[in-house]
Amino acid sequence: MRPPAQVRRRRLRALVAERGFLSVGEMARRLGVSEMTIRRDLTALEADGSLQRTHGGAVLAQEETPTPVDLHEPAFEARSRRHAEAKRAIARAALELLRPGATIGLDVGTTTFELARRLAEMRGLKIFTNSLRAAGLLANAAHDVYLPGGRVRGTELSLCGPVAVRELRNYWLDYAFLGVSGITAAGCFDYSLEDTEIKTVYIERAAHRVVLCDSSKFARMSVVKVCDLERIHRLITDAPPPPPLAGALRAAGVELVVAEPGEIEERA
């Protein structure tokens, strides 16, 4: 006999608390009910504040309430000084994915800019980027570097707008390396609507989509959602995510790479 709704919902909340994240399908299998029943339960549990629904499942509401971030984007120079060692470790781990001949999309941001520094250690890549800083850094490196047209967003020195979007859609990429301002079980976030339009193109055109994100951005969100977790293939970071985010990444099939700064520097 199927347990009463209140009993089932208590079990459901306990399962999510234990695992950090559960998909709707797994909830249904564990409790022996239909997915439609689970969705009704999730609606009720979200209404009373017990759980937070995410794409495909749920997390505990109190564990995955994102920490507010500044609505206004901090200056590039200020951001680049924060968590610098972690960003160097992440960039080195990202570099290990690449081989000569690869075609990559390099997003704007401080961690992707650190990857641009490391790309000088390689040869023979085709690099499409909307970052004027990264392009300037790589101008004399042994790579083919391409910039789209478009409007310059002066605060970030990024190229954006319909011209940039239209041009970047002409290319297929082996890898896209993406920067974000925050990541939660609900997805990836950024400060800028215009830069997010370019990130979306990178996601559409890349065979492998890699988010470079230090652990200070876990459980943080900003004004613009970039994508659901299911749209990315790999997250490279410097520390294990908290359980709700870790569970959501597993459920979305995202490969997690933890590049601890000390270990990376020792191997380098």
pLDDT means per 10 residues in the chain (268 residues)? 78 79 86 91 85 77 54 77 92 96 97 95 95 95 95 93 97 98 91 95 98 93 91 97 86 92 54
| pLDDT given for residue 5 in this prediction | 86
Tokens describing residue 49: 């504040």
Which segments of the chain belong to CATH 3.40.50.1360? 76-267
| pLDDT given for residue 48 in this prediction | 80
Rounded distance between C-alpha atoms, residue 165 and residue 145, angstroms: 17
Query: Does the domain at residues 76-267 carry the CATH identifier 3.40.50.80?
Result: no
| pLDDT given for residue 264 in this prediction | 47
Tokens describing residue 225: 């959602």
| pLDDT given for residue 202 in this prediction | 98
Which segments of the chain belong to CATH 1.10.10.10? 5-63
| pLDDT given for residue 1 in this prediction | 55
- Longest pairwise C-alpha distance within the chain: 71
Rounded distance between C-alpha atoms, residue 152 and residue 259, angstroms: 33
Domain 5-63 belongs to what architecture?
Answer: Orthogonal Bundle (1.10)
Rounded distance between C-alpha atoms, residue 150 and residue 166, angstroms: 9
| pLDDT given for residue 68 in this prediction | 56
3-state secondary structure of 189: strand
| pLDDT given for residue 245 in this prediction | 86
